[in-house]
Amino acid sequence: MKLIYLPLSVFILISCITDRKEDACFENDKKEKTAYQEFRIDTPQEILRANPSHVKFTVDNKLKTYKEETEDARKSYSEAEDKKRFKVYDDKYAELIKNFGNQFYYINTEKVDGIVYGIGQNMFGYWLLETKNNTVAAYYLGLSQFTHFSKKQPEHFISGNKLLAYGSFVRISKSWGYPFGPQKEAVKDRLVFEIDLQTVKKDSDKDRFNDLFEKLVLLNPDSADTDKDGIPDFTDSNPLYRSEKSKFTDLYTLIIDREYEQSGFSKGSYFFTGYFSDCDYFHHINPTQVKVLIYPENKSSELQSDYRLGMFPEHIGKIRKDKDKNRFYIDYGSGSGGGYIEALFKNGKWNLTKQSTYDI
């Protein structure tokens, strides 16, 4: 038998890596400090500077103000009136609903030269939707986080390589917290946005995610396979990391899949759920019920989400060990409540029990 001797430094390196993974994935007795950032109101100058160069705007005083729009939205309706409003929505956006499902809330639609266009909104912001020759595509518009589209939109919003939309620049007006959303106010009102679609539709790596979207979520706009796992970003359920099989990676995968198994998002290309975690096990999950974006904690400041409570309000915590070596606990939370998940590893499989401890 041939013996191979490794230098002590190699064992020390392996030990350090293992310790870092333990610290990042498992709770310990150390009290972790939470960094709080003092709330600051964005200035009008900052808001105007944040508007990207492919978006121009003019003022039309005939349009409603942001305040008038929000007051209209607060009106209460009877059950019969609500039913009628939902039917009008379903009828108007039937083609978009058929092609994109529940991945978006739809704001506008029109048909030009046989192509069905739409404007949709999801956790990332506003998108141009397109159905051409039975092929669907969605392009993130790349607006600043301060941009709000009004309920009323122009009947004809596609003109050559331009998209027209009505809206405002808004800001959060005061410090806020769950369960109530932030109070917002208009900084510049009654705007007509003119958006350059050549910039919007640019897709350098031809992976069906436009460059503006990939830059937003930190995918590589110059590579169709960001994590180099052989699965294109567009179809990869975890495009930022290679998926792996391990005991605790399988645990995190199961937690995500259980949460979204009834959602209908498994076939959605443009809907993601996202989390911030330094846990390597969490990074390498392989969910089947929803697409995920997982970021190290220090990346949170790089994601320029808009003013809809942040892109990813859900949280799944570190693993807490029990005296029973096969039993573990993981805290979870979101804007609507939270609790913990009890996970029992038995006969090579995980059994989960979810316990809610608070509702908001």
- The Cα–Cα gap between 275 and 277 comes to 6
Residue 286 and residue 192 in one domain: no
277, 294 in Cβ contact below 8 A?
yes
Q: Tell how far CA 250 is from the center of its chain.
A: 22
Structural domain includes residue 140: yes
Q: How far apart are CA 254 and CA 287, in angstroms?
A: 7
Q: Are 139 and 51 in contact (CB under 8 A)?
A: no
| Residue 232 located in a structural domain | no
Q: What's the mean pLDDT when you consider all of the chain?
A: 89
Contact (Cβ atoms closer than 8 angstroms) between residue 120 and residue 105: yes
> Domain for residue 212, yes or no?
no
Residue 298's domain comprises 237-359
* Residue 255 confidence (pLDDT): 97
Cα end-to-end distance, the chain, whole Å = 64
Contact 300, 318 (CB under 8 A): no
In a domain, 333, yes or no: yes
Residue after which a domain boundary falls, among 176, 200, 224: 200
pLDDT given at position 20: 62
Choice among 154-158, 172-176, 239-243 with the minimum mean pLDDT: 172-176
Q: Across residues 223-238, what is the average pLDDT?
A: 97
pLDDT bin (cut points 50, 70, 90) of residue 317 is very high
Q: Are 97 and 171 in a shared domain?
A: yes
- Residue 353 domain-assigned (yes or no): yes
Question: At 92, is the pLDDT very low, low, confident or very high (cuts 50, 70, 90)?
Answer: very high
Report the range of poorest mean pLDDT among 13-27, 136-150, 199-213, 225-239.
13-27
Pair 189, 244 in one domain: no
Q: Three-state SS for 285?
A: coil
Residue 14, φ and ψ in degrees, nearest 5: -60, -40
Q: Give a yes or no: residue 2 inside a domain.
A: no
DSSP 144: -
In this predicted structure, the answer to whether residue 56 has a pLDDT above a threshold of 50 is: yes
Question: Is residue 8 a part of any domain in this protein?
Answer: no
Cα angle, residue 356 at apex, residues 352 and 359 outer, rounded to 5°: 150
Of 8-12, 19-23, 272-276, the least confident = 8-12
Mean pLDDT of 135-164: 95
Say if residue 179 is preceded by a cis peptide, omega within 30 of 0.
yes
Domain count, the chain: 2
Q: Would the pTM of this model clear 0.75, i.e. be above it?
A: yes
pLDDT at 30 over 90: no
CA distances for 220 relative to 128, 212, 229, 286, 298, angstroms: 21, 11, 14, 20, 18
Whether residue 206 is predicted with pLDDT greater than 90 in this model: the reply is yes
